């Protein structure tokens, strides 16, 4: 029996600001948004997966177009598959967020997929969009950071850019434990600057079903 519900693991009071920010600027960032002890458990789990060699080198492109490109991204990933209590809790929190976003913004999100990501020292992810307008079913991107002690010298910030002026930086986010970012996947260019320390996160996407005319849009 669990005494906690999903609503206990995120900052419910910040949700109106999240909705407002998604609508007006297309992105939202908040520190201490996610429950610290859940984030610590997920952090330990990610390092356990690394020790068991259960991480795979991340690629770019989905389905048939999937390629490994170290000059573009250098993280190693593991898809969340509900294999632990902490993963199930995280997915329950994101299911709640999906429901709230649908209620406030009518985005018709119907599914969430997410992976752990570990960037070893020296790794980065070059500036990109997570989906291309009309081509993908990834509507809202999310990133949860899991690093308990992050110092400025470690670098590894995520930089968000203006959708209308893609050279213009609008936010720079340190990957500190509990910090949460979400943004419109086909609007907001972003990058991960080179990290000096192992950098742990969960990247996830709220999806809409766009499988039309027999064309199946692969989830990953």
Ligand X SMILES: O=C(O)CCC(=O)C(=O)O
Q: Which residues bind ligand X (CB under 6 A)?
A: 117, 125, 130, 143, 158, 190, 192, 201, 203
Question: Binds 158, which of ligand X, Fe ion, none (CB < 5 to 8 A, cut-off by type)?
Answer: ligand X
Instruction: Identify which of residues 130 and 157 has a Cβ nearer to Fe ion in the complex.
Output: 130
Instruction: Identify which of residues 10 and 188 has a Cβ nearer to Fe ion in the complex.
Output: 188
Residue 54 in tokens:
């259960």
Which positions from 128 to 157 touch Fe ion by CB under 5 A, shown as an x/- string? --x---------------------------
Residue 220 in contact with residue 62, Cβ under 8 Å?
yes
Least spacing, CB of residue 43 vs ligand X, in Å:
14
Residue 120's Cβ-side half-sphere holds a number of Cα atoms within 13 Å equal to 9
Residue 10 in contact with residue 110, Cβ under 8 Å?
no
Q: Is 35 in the site for Fe ion (CB under 5 A)?
A: no
Q: Which stretch binds Fe ion (CB under 5 A): 79-87, 123-131, 161-169, 205-213?
A: 123-131
- What is the chain's percent helix, strand, coil content, to nearest 5? 25, 30, 40
Residue 176 in contact with residue 219, Cβ under 8 Å?
no
Instruction: Identify which of residues 130 and 186 has a Cβ nearer to ligand X in the complex.
Output: 130
- 73 dihedral zone (left: phi>0; alpha: psi -120 to 50; beta): beta
The residues binding Fe ion (CB under 5 A) are: 130
């Amino acid at each position: 029996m669990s005494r906690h519900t999903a609503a206990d693991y995120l900052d419910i009071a910040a949700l109106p600001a999240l909705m407002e920010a998604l609508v007006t600027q297309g992105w939202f960032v908040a520190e201490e948004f996610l429950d610290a002890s859940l984030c610590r458990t997920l952090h330990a789990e990610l390092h356990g997966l690394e020790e068991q060699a259960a991480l795979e080198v991340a690629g770019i492109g989905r389905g048939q177009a999937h390629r490994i490109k170290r000059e573009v991204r250098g993280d190693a990933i593991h898809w969340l598959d509900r294999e632990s209590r902490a993963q199930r809790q995280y997915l329950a929190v994101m299911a709640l967020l999906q429901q709230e976003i649908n209620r406030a913004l009518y985005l018709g999100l119907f599914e969430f997929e997410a992976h752990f990501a570990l960037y070893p020292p020296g790794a980065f992810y070059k500036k990109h969009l997570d989906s291309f307008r009309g081509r993908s079913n990834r509507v809202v991107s999310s990133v949860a950071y899991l690093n308990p002690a992050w110092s400025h010298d470690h670098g590894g910030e995520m930089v968000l850019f203006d959708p209308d002026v893609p050279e213009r930086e609008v936010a720079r986010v340190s990957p500190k434990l509990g910090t949460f970012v979400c943004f419109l996947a086909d609007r907001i260019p972003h990058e991960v600057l080179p990290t000096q320390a192992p950098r742990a996160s969960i990247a996830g996407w709220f999806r809409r079903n766009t499988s039309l005319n027999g064309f199946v849009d692969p989830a990953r």
